[in-house]
Structure formats: structure tokens, C-alpha cells
Amino acid sequence: MPVSGTGSPGRAPPPVEGAHEEEEPGSPHEALDLGLSLGVGAAAREVPAPRLVQVGSSSSGEEEEEEEEEDAQGPSLPSCPVCMSAWSAEGEHRVSCIPCGHVYGRSCLERWLVQCGKKTATCPQCGKVFRQKHIINLYAPEIVVPNNDLEKQVLSLRDKNESLENQQKKLVEEIKEYKRQILLQQHLINKSSSKRQKMTGQLSNAAAMAESVASLRADGDSSGPCKFVPQNEFFLDGARVMGIDASSQIILASGRAAGVSVEHVLTKISMFSRQQTKVHLPPNTKALKDICIVPGGLAVFASLGKKLLLFSMTTNNVVLQYDLPAPGWSCSGVQNGANHIYAGLQNGMLLVFDTRQTKAPLHSLMGLSTHPVHTIHTVVDCSGFTKVISASSVGPCIWDVDGSENRPSLLTGTENQGVCISLACAPPSSDLIVATFRPKVELSGDGTSSQVAISQSPTLSSSGKLGCHALMRRASSTSFVKEQICNGSVSELRMSKSAIIPCSGNSQHLFAYGDESLHGVRTWQLPSFQAFTDLMPHRRPILDLRFAESSGGEKYLGCLSEEKLQVFGVTDH
């Protein structure tokens, strides 16, 4: 069907409605209509399409005159005859009627079909019959070409953004937690600093008082049996046990090596030159529980690694090693140059070794209990026989080690004193001994703990209890008699060390013990237990205490804490 341009003089007659309803797709009329729609669409993109007026057989000449007048007025912008909205390049008014080329909105034509109630309807402008399939877009919609790379990049950036947001949240929480910990640590530091200042003041006062008392008693009391003169002081880390060789002026101290959790190192110290040498013991030696100096420049070590070692202080080497059936807790040697050495074990046994035989002990003696033998002293009685006086928690015992396999005898008068934690002997005959006891704890039938003997003693501090020191004097070669008892602050847990110091000239003796309340050495005169002097205190409790006398008569007292070693010279008045 031909379409007139602007100012066209003639109109084609309108088609018959019924004829268009019978037309099928693909007919010549459809092809002609499609071509017209394309031409009209192209013209519509260039200039607005003129308004077309349908001409029928019943049209009058007046209508032709009105059309001519409208054409003379010039073309007008197209608008949708259904909704009367003006056509624009944007929006939904982009479909064209095939017969007349007028621009409609797709939704407008679809609503027009619904209103007509048929599968076909006439164009509101030209009256042509059209169907749903005849509604075509005048302009093609925007085409979006997918870009997979950009999509992946967007997704990746989105994931990164979420990850960064989560990290930011975590960092904010961590910063809050760090601030909270810093405030808490600052509070603890301030609190600890306040306590430290208070304790420092108390320790300074105690040290000043103790030093004043020691100076007054040691230097100014001419009636005392002897005095203590400070010789040297060494700062150690982790020391536990010591031994003094007075003749060569060598000190051996053992303890855990700094920074190493399992290794124990022996430190060899020159008493006056302050030279120190680290000696590494054989593997699996573990901690040394006791050190004994014997003649010939040798030392005996008892270790928790089930070893009894003979050490040369000249070559700094282990020259002999014995395997023990149980961990060693104490050791001793005969001072007259004999070849016998002794070991007290954790299971209560006493072993006798001859250094000329390296395979097995001479004697294996069973104790009175299975508690550790924590102290051994080798003595020679008035008949010239060697005896061993030992101590375990059940009390001090005396052993016959000259070939007898009999079990030891508990010293009379010590049965109900409590737990024996220390034993000191007066060299060389050991006619005087002092045994130290702490309260004994037993479980009653209902499971609650009860105290016996001196169990009612009050606790003196967080690390000490009120115990007692019992003086016993030899009555025969195998028996002792208890004479005096003195109270003192003792350790709640450790098996401590003590010493009896002979003072020549007046045959007097002093008893020295590491007092828990003092953190230093306290001494008493024997046999009266009259307080004599307190030596300079440490910051930590005394762990070991040793007295040694050289062949030339020089006497030394050494006291060891975890961080410091003090050496005093003992001189007679």
C-alpha cells in the first residue's frame, strides 16, 4: 500500500477489514506492509512523519479540504494516538504501525488489543487490521555485549573488598584487645613496683639490722668462740648445691644452666681470684643432689640420673662413674684417704663402693624406710671403726659399714620429733650431732590432716614453719643421747643443710643453719643453743650450707642461695 509524503495530493482507499483478517503471514500484502514500515521507520528517524488521514468511500469533500488545510499548516511532531504522549528518542514509544507508520508505544497497542477483545484490532490512526505479531520495534533496543573479563574483575574486587573489610574488623578488635592488655599490664606493673619498693625497704632494714648485729657480735664480742669474716661473694644463676675444697680454695657449685631447661652445669670457682669455669657433666647426669670433697683433689657427685661420679678437680673430668639402682640423694667419702665412697639413694638404701672396683658396689644395705637418704656423714668412732650417720625423714640413723649387712639403728630420742630434714656432725669424731625437724603431717581416718609431735607450731611465713634443732651427744660407739632442743624457722618443703663449726682453743662449737625467716645463716653456741650471730641475708632462701677446714687449719663457711654464693672465713679469738 503506498504511503503519501507530506502534502500528498491523494489517498488510497482503506482496505476491507475482513480481508485483512484472512491474510496469513508471508503473503504479498505482509511483505509490502513490512517494506512500507521500514521505509516509514527510516523517514520517521529523519523527520517527524506527517499525520495520515484515512480516506473511505463515504468521505466527503469537506474532509479533503480539512486535510489540505492541516497540510498547509506544516508538519507536527508525532504523538501516540492512544495515550497522546509525544514521541521521543527515549522511552517506550518506539514501535510503528506497519500500514501507516505512525509511532505508538508497545504497551499502548497491546492495551488496544485487549480493549478490542480480539486477536486482531484496527489501527487507531489508519484503521488497518493488525495482530500481536505485527507490533514491531521501530528502533532496536540497546544491546549489551557481556565482558567476561570485566565481570571476573568486578567479582574479584568485590571479594577483595569483603576480605579487606573483615581484616579491618579483626584489626580493630585486636587493637582494642592490645589496648586492654596494655592497660592491664601497666596496672600490674604499677602494683608490682609498689610492692617491690615496699619489700626493698623492708629487706634493707632487715639487712642493716642483721649486718649491725653480726658486726657487733662478730667483731666486738670478745667472749665469743670465733668470728666470721666475709671473704668473697659470687652471683650465680640457678645454683642448688655446693662443695668447698679448703686446701686448694676451690668451690664447686651445681645448678640448672641459664636458658636451658634440662641441662645442669657444674661451675668451678676460684675462691679468691674469682675465676669461674663451666664444666659440662656427662649426658643423663641430671641434677646433682650432693657434692662431697675427698682427699687427693677429688669430688664425689650423687645425681638424680642414677649416677655416682668421681670428679677430678685438676683435670675437670669425670674419672669414675657408677650406675645406681635408684636416683642418688647424698654421698660421702672417708677423710683419712681410704678408697671407700658412699651413696644414699632415693629408695632408702645405702651403697658402699671401692674406687678400685668399677663394676658393682661392695655392699648394698637396706634402710629403715623407703624414704630418700638425704644426708650422709662418714665418721670414725673411738675404736677406729668407720661408721656412717645418715638422715632420712624417719630420723637420724647409724650404720655399720665394715662388712656387716645389718640394717641401721635409729638414734634414741628422735622417734617422735617430726620429719628429719637436716643433720650436722662435728668433725672428725662426730661426738656431737644436731638433727633438724619440721612438723609432721599425717592423714587421719576421715581423710583430714592432723599434726603430731610439734605439729601445733604456727606458720611463721609463706615459706617457713616453726621447727626444732635437737642436740645429741655420743654415749657409745653406736648410741647418742639427746641433750637440748632449740626452735627455729625451717623449710616446709626442702631437705636443708646445716653445719657444726669447731672453734679451737676453748673446745666450743657453733651450730649454723639457713633460717627461713631471715633468708640468711643463723648461728647458735653449743651445747646451750644460745644465739650467737646472724650473717648477711640473701634475697632468696639458703639452699646449701658447707663448712670446710684445710690441712693448714684455715676454716671457711659457704652459704648458697639460688642467685648468690657467700664465703666467710672463720677465725678464733
Please, what sign has the CA dihedral across residues 207, 213, 217, 221? positive
> Of 137, 85, 139, 143, whose CA–CA distance to 106 is shortest?
137
Residue whose entry in the numeric block shows the C-alpha cell 666467710 = 568
Give residue 456's pLDDT: 36
Give residue 78's pLDDT: 58
For residue 116, give the amino acid letter.
Answer: C
Give residue 288's pLDDT: 93
Give residue 450's pLDDT: 40
> Of 277, 354, 347, whose CA–CA distance to 320 is shortest?
354
Q: Is the pTM of this model over 0.75?
A: no
Residues of the chain where predicted confidence (pLDDT) is lower than 70: 1-106, 109, 112-113, 115-119, 130, 135-147, 195-196, 198-224, 258-262, 336-337, 403-405, 428-429, 442-463, 505-506, 573
Give residue 99's pLDDT: 62
457 within 8 A of 467, measured Cβ to Cβ: yes
Give residue 429's pLDDT: 67
214 within 8 A of 228, measured Cβ to Cβ: yes
> Of 568, 540, 549, 571, whose CA–CA distance to 240 is shortest?
540
Give residue 375's pLDDT: 94
Give residue 426's pLDDT: 83
Give residue 501's pLDDT: 92
- The conformation of residue 359, written as its DSSP 8-state character, comes to S
Q: Which residues are registered as beta bridge partners of 63?
A: none
